[in-house]
Amino acid sequence: MITRRFISNLQRQLRQPPHPHTSSKPNHASSRQYCRHQSTSSGSGADASSRASRIISRLPRPLQKYASRLRNAPLTHVVAFLTLHEITAVVPLLGLFGLFHYTDFVPIGYMTEHYGAYVKEGLRRFERYFRRKGWFGFGEEGDGEKATVADSLVEGEGELDRWQSDGKYKFVVEIALAYAITKVLLPVRIMGSLWATPWFAGVLGRIGTMVRPKRPPR
């Protein structure tokens, strides 16, 4: 009698569906979601490291050995370096443009003589951008047919008169000179970013801790 009751209870338990929390079947949806999250995180980290490596490769060879440790650094350090690199590009660009625009100090002769390629690159890039946006008087009817200032300004001193007489070209030349100086300072910017990376990674970590939502107590 006891044996029969034991067997009956055992059969009843075997026929019951397993509890959802104790199921032995793998959760394939959760596994796929976890794999996608892992692959996305790995891809983002690889892209950041690849971009950092490309920036470091612009350094002179004697300085690249000091930056090689960044390739094996944690992802937070790589992100901190890339952020600092962008900051050291935008701040000097805007600061120098303001200096040239609001003062009489505009070293156009020196820059075109020593770094004419960078100046020409900046002139072409920003004049094309201003024409596309229609800023500072560019992009008006018939304006697209005018010759760009890039080639003529770098190759001849006569175009300085055109720059001084036409206000819209004044903006182009000033931002192009700021761009050229920022390009010349690239090794200094990279080394400065590398030096400040550990400190800035700590700052980003503290900011992330402050803005991260706190989990409610269980």
d(CA 136, CA 172): 9
Q: Are 112 and 165 in contact (CB under 8 A)?
A: no
Q: Tokens representing 215? A: 């989990």
Average pLDDT for residues 9-19, to the nearest whole number? 48
- What is the C-alpha to C-alpha distance for residues 48 and 135, in angstroms, rounded to an integer? 33
**Helix, strand, coil percent content, the chain, rounded in steps of 5:** 80, 0, 20
pTM confidence score? 0.69
Residue 23's pLDDT band (cuts 50, 70, 90) = very low
Mean pLDDT score across all residues of the chain: 74
Using one digit for the tens of pLDDT, what is the confidence trace for 46-71? 777 787 888 878 777 777 776 777 77
Q: What pLDDT was estimated at residue 69?
A: 74
More confident residue, 21 or 58: 58
Per-residue pLDDT for 14 more than 70?
no
Q: Is 153 buried (19+), middle (13-18) or exposed (0-12) by CB count in 10 A?
A: buried
pLDDT at 83 over 60: yes
Q: What tens digit of pLDDT does each residue of 128-143 get?
A: 888 888 888 777 655 5
- Which pLDDT score, from 0 to 100, does residue 43 have? 55
pLDDT in tens, 154-208: 555 445 556 656 677 888 888 999 999 999 999 999 999 999 999 999 998 888 7
